Structure 1
Amino acid sequence: MKNHRNKLLATLALFGASLSHAEYQLNFQQPATSIAQDVYSLHMTLLWICLVIFVIVFGVMFYSIFKHRKSTGHKPADFHESVTVEVVWTVIPLLIVVAMAWQATKVVINQKNTKGADVTVKVTGYQWKWGYDYLDEGFGFHSKLATPQTQYENFGKDSQQVEKKNENYLLEVDNAMVVPVGKKVRLLLTANDVIHSWWVPAFSTKQDAIPGFIRDTWFKADRVGVYRGQCAELCGKDHGFMPIVVNVVSDEDYKKWVSEQKKKAAESADDPNKKWELADLMKRGEKVYQDNCAVCHKPDGKGMGAFPALDGSKIAKGDRSAHVGIVLAGKNAMPGWSKTLSDTEIAAVITYERNAWGNKTGDVVQPSDIKAARK
């Protein structure tokens, strides 16, 4: 009983400390684009209009209730409707609504004007990460949550251990989107599986990514910095683990970054006809597995919920072609990886799954096998 009481007191103390250090923000984030500034200004203008209407309406109402109360001997008035009053209290609200709509329409139209872009990026939503393809530069990459799984699932060698959270807990990624400051960036958004939504509050940019459709939006950052957002559409069990990070840099730094990305893309390009050794495929496959599969099937292959264990499974130890087919096309809650991973990556991860943990099948899947299975 005493131990339980001490644990409760410790928990309350930690909770109180976290509240005392929390930063509360009651309004929008500080605008980082002209559109965001327009949205913020519109928001504040409409807020003040609503406040004035609230004060006038409730002021008149409370004044009337107090001034004409029965206890002072006031007698109810007996009169018929006034056409003038009816017209006045219909026309005035109409003019207010039209004025508000006029300002809002100008902002919305500007938000939809994607002409004259300096940089065009195709953004693809996946369960659960983002893909960025720089169409003008000819390279692309995936961006996923960088917060270690041990921090948000609280497991480790000691079951009671809770790992310390990072500063940007659940808002950090392994590969940030990088754009130049002061340049108009057009985003072409789509999705590979279900509906996602790309949202960065400081840019006032939010657009749904829908499978089979291309939606577009834009932003132009006014200052250098790191801006964070999230997927704003419920897209599955790991919806909360799809952060967005946009690194706005100078034009010079952007050109250097583009050059580095092109070099990396060239170096990582795989020869589709290469014959891989088992050890090399296992090493490559482990990285692919940890980056893409471990979040559902667990790093130790034990699985969770709707995602079955791969260690000792009939799929990983059974027919190889069936295993390839499931990875390519997906099954039940598992998405297909045919559009996300290359032939070499799929061959490597399947080889890894068939030989890792207790699955010592000795099978080697080559990129050519995946290429043939795609047909």
Structure 2
Amino acid sequence: MRRKLTRITAAAQAGAIALISQTCLADYQTTMQSPANELAGKVISIHELMLYICGAIFVAVFGVMFYSIFKHRKSVGHQAANFHENATVEVIWTVIPFFILILMALPATKVVLAQKDTRSEDLTIKVTGYQWKWGYDYLQDGVQFYANLATPRDQIDDYQGASASKGEHYLLEVDNNLVVPVGKKIRLLLTANDVIHSWWVPAFAVKQDAIPGLIRDTWFKVDQPGIYRGQCAELCGKDHGFMPIVVEAKTQADYDKWLDEKKKEILAKQDDPNKVWKLDEMVARGEKVYAANCVACHQANGMGVPGSFPAIAGSKIATGPTDGHIGIVLSGKGAMPTWKHLSDTEIAAVITYQRNAFGNNKGDIVQPTDIKAARQKGA
């Protein structure tokens, strides 16, 4: 008996140690993120008000209930009263909840109306959700870019824990931050290219669905410079968990400097649509496009996910006529979305890469002019 008790105790201790070690892997937070603006602070205050009211109701109701059960139990001689109506009680349990609801509804209504008031904005940014990245278009400044997950893929696919330790912002880092000036009202126009997404940054108290074919709007303001992180909050497919949002707030002077540099960067990256590329150049460019846009489904080795996403290696599309390959990339098929938002050069590059990688070795090269012609034909 003693040995059995010892084994049980040892197992319990081992379980406790394992549980503690797991909880030490992350910093747990028992409340909301620190608000980045006044409106977010009001949302948190309302949340706490609701929590206190509901907690008080819970304690009062269950307190009276358990007191009544204990005090008037049959074993001490109490006899249950026999009655059917009591006008006073009915009025009380109707009037009190009514005033409680009014108390809760008034501040909540004010905050909701403030959240929906997108007038008098200082900056408007169009946000487009894609599987699985975000696109940002600064409508007043002509700046447009995409924000892809920056966490290395080998860390994500490291199920055995063989790679280096994960970074501080694992799965919450992107290659292009959304940059905004502090103290300005930022209006977002949200839509989606394929399925429903949801743009959510807790510190801003902003969560707005992005729906294909519709434009939804919301707004936020940031009071202090810094970096604020969020995620897609609508289940949108295989890599839903790999769509982080990173907003970087800068002072007006730093923002203006960033905007000028971004415009120069975009201008420098623009490709000549009439350039004739060499095969090795196009393959090298296509490998980068594939890693940023295709690897999630078709995998780094081109073998895809059996039963869900087809392989590129040896596929009839990647080894067949180029027109069919171009058509699939431009128009999509089944679970594969359209990739029309990529430039002609990017599409030509990734198709060329797919036709010359993973053992396909077709020797084909697709030029940007081929993609331009296919777009015009499709239109």
TM-score, with structure 1 as normaliser: 0.91
Mapping for residues 168-317 of structure 1, pairs under 5 Å: 168-305=169-306, 306-317=308-319
Q: What secondary structure sits across from 1:161 in the alignment?
A: coil
> Which residue of structure 2 lines up, in the alignment, with residue 336 of structure 1?
338
Report SS of the residue matched to 1:175: coil
TM-superposition CA deviations, 1:347-370 (whole Å, max 9, x none): 111112112242222222111111
Aligned match for 2:64, one of 60, 72, 80: 60
Structure 1 pair 319–85 and aligned structure 2 pair: CA distance change class (3 A): same
Counterpart CA distance in 2 for 1:273 and 1:12 is 66
Q: How many pairs are equivalent?
A: 363
Alignment of 1:88-127 (within 5 A): 88-127=92-131
Q: Give secondary structure in 1 for the equivalent of 2:24.
A: helix
Evaluate the alpha carbon distance shift between residue 84 and residue 288 of structure 1 in structure 2; reply closer, same or farther with a 3 A threshold. same
Q: Measure how far apart 1:11 and its partner are.
A: 11
| CA distance, structure 2, for counterparts of residue 74 and residue 310 of structure 1 | 79
Query: What is the DSSP-based 3-state SS (H/G/I as helix, E as strand, rest coil) of the residue aligned with 1:301?
Result: coil
Q: SS of the counterpart of 2:301? A: coil
- What letter is aligned with 1:365? V
Offset at 1:21? 4.9
**1:322 and 1:234 mapped to 2: Cα distance?**
31
Structure 1 letter corresponding to 2:56: V
Are residues 1:165 and 2:169 paired? no
Give the Cα–Cα distance (whole angstroms) in 2 for the partners of residues 11 and 283 of structure 1: 50
1:26 equivalent to 2:30? Answer yes
- Deviation of residue 162 (structure 1)? 4.1
**Alignment partner of 1:46 out of 47, 50, 54:** 50
Provide the residue aligned with 1:6 in structure 2.
none
How far 1:13 moved relative to its partner? 6.8
Are 2:350 and 1:349 equivalent residues in the alignment? yes
Residues 154 and 163 in structure 1, CA contact (< 8 A), matched pair in contact too: no
Corresponding residue of 1:5:
none
Q: Distance in 2 between matches of 1:24 and 1:273?
A: 54
**Partner Cα distance (2:329, 2:84) in 1:** 76
- What does the per-residue CA deviation read over 1:317-364, in whole Å, with 9 as the maximum and x for residues that have no partner? 2111001001111122211101x2011111111112112242222222
Distance 1:353 1:79, change over 3 A: closer
Please name the residue that 2:146 is paired with.
142
- Choose 175-184 or 359-368, whichever is displaced more: 359-368
Task: Give the aligned partner of residue 70 of structure 1.
Answer: 74
The offset of 1:241, in angstroms, is 0.8
CA–CA distance in 1 between the matches of 2:298 and 2:77? Answer: 78
Post-superposition offset of 1:131: 0.5
What is the CA deviation profile of residues 149-180 of structure 1, one whole-angstrom value per residue up to 9, with x for unaligned ones?
A: 1112117xxx7724421111111111111111
Give the deviation of 1:251 after TM superposition: 1.2
Distance in structure 1 (CA, Å) of the matches to 2:73 and 2:244: 58
Q: 1:160 to 1:240 in 2, by over 3 A?
A: closer
Rate the CA distance shift 1:13–1:162 in 2: closer, same or farther, 3 A: farther
Q: Which amino acid counterpart does residue 96 of structure 1 have in structure 2? A: I
- State the SS of the aligned residue for 1:92: helix
State the one-letter code of the partner of 2:212.
P
Aligned-pair distance for 1:50?
Answer: 1.2
2:360 is matched with: 359
- Shift, 1:119, TM fit: 1.3
Structure-2 change in CA distance of 1:15 and 1:95 (3 Å): closer
Q: Distance in 1 between matches of 2:324 and 2:123?
A: 42
Structure 2 stretches of 5 or more lacking a match?
Answer: 1-12
**TM superposition shift of 1:64:** 1.9
Distance 1:52 1:105 in 2: 22
1:318 and 2:316 are equivalent in the alignment: no
Task: Give secondary structure in 1 for the equivalent of 2:249.
Answer: strand
> For residues 155 and 61 of structure 2, what CA distance do their matches in structure 1 show?
51
Distance 1:284 1:329 in 2: 22
Taking the aligned partners of 2:361 and 2:24, their CA distance within structure 1 comes to 53
Amino acid at match of 1:48: Y
Pair 1:86-2:90 in alignment: yes
CA deviations over 1:177-228 (Å, ceiling 9, x no partner):
1111111111100000000000011111000000000001111012111111
Q: One-letter code of the match for 2:59?
A: V
Secondary structure, in 3 states, of the residue corresponding to 1:208? strand
The answer for unaligned runs of 5 or more in structure 1 is 1-8
Once residues 10 and 319 of structure 1 are traced to their aligned partners in structure 2, the CA distance between those partners, rounded to angstroms, is: 61
Q: Distance in 2 between matches of 1:10 and 1:143?
A: 43
Larger deviation, residues 55-64 vs 178-187: 55-64
Distance 2:315 2:338 in 1: 19
SS class of match (2:63): helix
Which letter maps to 2:264?
K
